[in-house]
Structure 1
Amino acid sequence: MAVTLDPFAELDRLASGLLGARPGPRVMPVDLYRDADRYVLNADLPGVDPGTVDVDVDGQLLTIRAQRTADTGHVGKWLVQERPGGSYLRQFSIGEGVDITGISASYDNGVLSVVLPVSEKAKPRKIEVHAASASTDSQKTLTS
């Protein structure tokens, strides 16, 4: 009996083990930047139903959760499945410089945008410098 080795089948088996269903949350790449008086966080969540996206703040911890449902609507045999379903989770420590009551979020074309306004106490402010008056300086000299 001859045993045939299909190198492509073996590569597919190894790749599915590396890229296929793995335990735990999926990767959620993010961009974060400051724009004037707000921080903007953009997270890639392709194929996620907006109804499964959950953004919450507990103290100074911002948590983003989402769920992507695996495609089960086809009847054929999978040849490659690199887009499995599963859960997404990211947490961020936001510090005290964010106005947590003003946080807003929107989801469009697979991108979740979270806007975090800078709190009034964390905004830069100008401090007025008062010059000492000449009469005050001369009074100090006379009384000394």
Structure 2
Amino acid sequence: PDAIDLDVEQNVLTVKAERRPTQRGDGAEVQVSERPLGVFSRQLFLGDTLDTDKISAAYEAGVLTLTIPVAETAKPRKIQISGGSDRKELQA
């Protein structure tokens, strides 16, 4: 988690991380590594209906999980219909 940086600016989420070589204390030397080392980043373009102020992130067992809630204004809501008591009835 210390090597991961998350930023949000104008509905663009940027995930930047650095993969460092693992330290071998027993004098072993790495000949081949299947995972690339270095800095990498990804950008995700977020929709206007997401609440970027409430993004949360968790890192567990090598997996970064982001939770991005939908903004309250974008959620569907029920609209009440007022009664028709103020309407005049037509007589045939």
TM-score by length of 1: 0.54
Structure 2 CA distance, aligned partners of 1:77 and 1:106?
Answer: 30
Q: Which residue of 2 aligns with 1:98?
A: 50
Q: Which residue of 1 aligns with 2:29?
A: 76
Structure 1 CA distance, aligned partners of 2:4 and 2:78?
Answer: 40
Structure 2 CA distance, aligned partners of 1:55 and 1:77?
Answer: 30
Percent identical among aligned pairs is 38
Quote the offset at 1:87 in angstroms.
1.9
Quote the offset at 1:129 in angstroms.
2.4
Greater Cα radius of gyration, structure 1 or 2 = 1
The answer to whether structure 1 residue 88 and structure 2 residue 37 are counterparts is no
The answer to whether structure 1 residue 132 and structure 2 residue 81 are counterparts is no
- Give the structure with the higher percent helix: 1
The answer to whether structure 1 residue 123 and structure 2 residue 51 are counterparts is no
Of 97, 114, 121, which aligns to 2:66?
A: 114
Structure 1 CA distance, aligned partners of 2:19 and 2:45?
Answer: 25
Structure 1 gaps of 5+ residues are 1-49
SS of the residue 2:88 aligns to: helix
Regions of 4+ moved over 4 Å: none
SS of the residue 2:2 aligns to: helix
Quote the offset at 1:72 in angstroms.
6.0
Q: Which residue of 2 aligns with 1:57?
A: 8
Structure 1 vs Structure 2 CA RMSD: 2.1
SS of the residue 1:121 aligns to: helix
- Alignment coverage as a number of residue pairs: 89
Could you tell me whether the CA contact under 8 Å between 1:71 and 1:85 is conserved in 2?
no
